[in-house]
Chains A and B, each alone.
Chain A
Amino acid sequence: MLSRRIIPCLDVRDGQVVKGVRFRDHVVMGEIVDLALRYRDEGADELVFYDITASPEGRSVDRTWVERVARVIDIPFCVAGGIRSVDEARAVLHAGADKISVNSPALERPELIDELAGAFGVQCVVVGIDSLRDADGQWRVRQYTGDPDKTQALARGTLDWMVEVQRRGAGEIVLNCMGSDGVRQGYDLEQLRAARAVCHVPLIASGGAGAPEHFRDAFQDADVDGALAASVFHSGAIAIPELKRYLAREDVAVRL
Chain B
Amino acid sequence: MAVVLVDAGGTNIGSVRYALQRLGVEAALTADPEAIRGADKVILPGVGAAGPGMARLRELGLVELMRSLTQPVLGVCLGMQLLCAHSEEGDTDCLGVIDAPVRRFHEAPGLRVPHMGWNALAPVRPHPLLDGLAAGEQAYFVHSYAVPVGDYTLATSDFGGPFSAVIARGNFHGMQFHPERSAGVGARLLMNFLSL
Contacts and interface: CB of A to CB of B under 8 A. Distances in A.
Interface in B80-131: 107, 110, 112-120
B183 A171 contact: no
B114 A122 contact: yes
B12 interface: yes
A118 B49 CA distance: 10
A123 B114 contact: yes
Contacts of B107: 200
Interface of B: 11-12, 14-15, 18-19, 21-22, 47-49, 107, 110, 112-120, 138, 140, 142-144, 158-159, 178, 180-184, 186-187
Nearest to B47: A121
Nearest to A93: B11
A2 B120 CA distance: 7
A171 B114 contact: yes
B47 A94 contact: no
A226 B114 CA distance: 14
Interface residues of A, number: 36
B112 A201 contact: yes
A170 to B, nearest CB: 11
Interface string A49-79: 0000000000000000001001110111000
A106 B15 CA distance: 27
A120 interface: yes
B11 A94 contact: yes
B18 A225 contact: no
B181 A76 contact: yes
Interface string A182-226: 000000000000000001111100000000000000000001011
Contacts of A200: 107, 112-113
Nearest to A254: B118
Contacts of A122: 114, 144
Nearest to A5: B117
A200 B18 CA distance: 33
Interface in A1-42: 1-5, 40
A70 B14 contact: yes
A72 to B, nearest CB: 8
A255 interface: yes
Contacts of B110: 223
Contacts of B49: 121
A131 B39 CA distance: 52
A147 B92 CA distance: 47
A98 interface: yes
Contacts of A199: 112
A130 interface: no
Nearest to A120: B11
A46 to B, nearest CB: 8
Contacts of B116: 123, 171-172, 202, 225
Contacts of A226: 117
A141 interface: no
Interface string A75-94: 11000000000000010011
Contacts of B117: 2-5, 45, 202, 225-226
A172 B116 CA distance: 9
B14 A95 contact: yes
11 contacts: A1-B119, A1-B158, A2-B119, A2-B159, A3-B119, A75-B182, A95-B14, A120-B48, A122-B114, A124-B47, A199-B112
